[in-house]
Structure formats: structure tokens, C-alpha cells
């Protein structure tokens, strides 16, 4: 559990979402959100809590391959599978590898989740504990919220903004 998730344990929502998602190659995956907010008018908002900017890994297979490669490079042995590699990298002091290459931290994964949820009338917000003010994309510096919204259709906010949202809505 990340430190941002620890700070918001009071609103943990650990159920798998009742939808099947697909990466750009059609490989299916399940997902779960970190929190669920219901607005006074009944709108559901699913929240994903993140400690660092999202990576640009485009498929689950690419993520698995990178994690297995990083594991082999770091530990000089082969991991039995990508999940084991990710777990051992994380607990072995190489969490940055998990952030850089993990599917759970991919902007494309979150876009796929958002696209399905939007079709169901469910709002999805990615909350960052902190984030650099800009994202470099093709040699341009773009304000991070605009980058995620324009490039991927993702709604984002900082944890400080989320704390205000929590105070004004019902949290499940």
C-alpha cells in the first residue's frame, strides 16, 4: 500500500470493478479503484490514488517484458512471472522500476479504464499526491492536468484538491 493510500484508508474501496477492460492489443484485464465517492445527486466518482506521474507503457505485454528484464538485470536471475518480478522489485528496493514499467501505473491502462467507465456514466479521477507542474511531451512542456485531459481524456487532481472534494461528498 502506497503512502497516499495509507493516508486515505478511511475511504478504501477494494472491490474489482464489474467490467472487463482491454489494452490496445485486445488483451483483457480487470481493475479496481481506490475509492468511491457519491455526489448528493447520486453521481458515482471512482478515485485512483497515485504517488508519481504515470508511465507511457502501452500494453500489458510490454509491461510484463520490461518488468522481467528489469528483474533479470537487477537480481541476475530469471523471475517465474511478471507478477513475481514486480513484487520482488518493489520490496527489493527497486520500486521506481515498478512505477516506470508497471501496467498498474500506465496512462494507457487508466485511459482504457476511463473510457469504459465513461460509457457507464461513471466519473474517474486520478489523484496525485504530488506531480511536477508540467509533462514533457515531444519536446514541449505541457501543464500536467491539461496533458492528461487533452492527450488521454483523463481527469486529474492533486491530493490537496481531493481532500476538499472528500469533505463535500459522501465517501464509500
Q: What is the pLDDT along the chain (172 residues), one digit of tens a residue?
A: 788 888 888 877 778 899 999 999 999 999 999 988 888 888 889 999 999 999 999 999 999 999 999 999 999 999 999 999 999 999 999 999 999 999 999 999 999 999 999 999 999 999 999 998 988 888 999 999 999 999 999 999 999 999 988 877 666 5
First to last CA, the chain: 18
* Joined grid coordinates for residue 137: 511531451
Check if the beta carbon of residue 82 is closer than 8 Å to that of residue 99: no
Residue 172 is predicted with a pLDDT of 55
Check if the beta carbon of residue 134 is closer than 8 Å to that of residue 142: yes
- E runs forming strands in 17-119: 21-22, 28-29, 35-38, 44-50
Domain ranges of the chain: 1-53+118-172, 55-105
Amino acid at each position: 500500500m502506497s503512502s497516499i493510500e495509507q493516508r486515505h484508508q478511511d475511504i478504501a474501496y477494494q472491490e474489482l470493478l464489474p467490467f472487463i477492460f482491454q489494452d490496445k492489443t485486445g488483451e483483457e484485464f480487470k481493475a479496481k479503484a481506490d475509492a468511491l465517492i457519491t455526489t448528493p445527486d447520486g453521481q458515482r466518482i471512482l478515485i485512483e490514488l497515485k504517488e508519481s506521474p504515470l508511465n507511457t507503457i502501452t500494453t500489458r505485454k510490454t509491461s510484463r517484458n520490461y518488468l522481467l528484464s528489469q528483474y533479470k538485470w537487477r537480481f541476475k536471475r530469471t523471475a517465474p512471472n511478471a507478477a513475481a518480478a514486480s513484487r520482488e522489485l518493489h520490496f527489493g528496493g527497486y520500486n521506481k522500476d515498478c512505477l516506470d514499467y508497471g501496467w498498474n501505473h500506465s496512462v494507457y491502462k487508466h485511459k482504457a479504464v476511463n473510457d469504459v467507465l465513461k460509457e457507464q456514466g461513471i466519473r474517474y479521477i486520478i489523484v496525485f499526491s504530488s506531480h511536477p507542474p508540467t509533462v514533457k511531451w515531444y519536446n514541449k512542456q505541457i501543464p500536467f492536468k491539461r496533458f492528461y485531459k487533452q492527450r488521454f481524456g483523463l481527469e486529474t487532481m492533486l491530493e490537496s484538491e481531493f481532500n476538499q472534494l472528500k469533505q463535500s461528498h459522501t465517501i464509500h
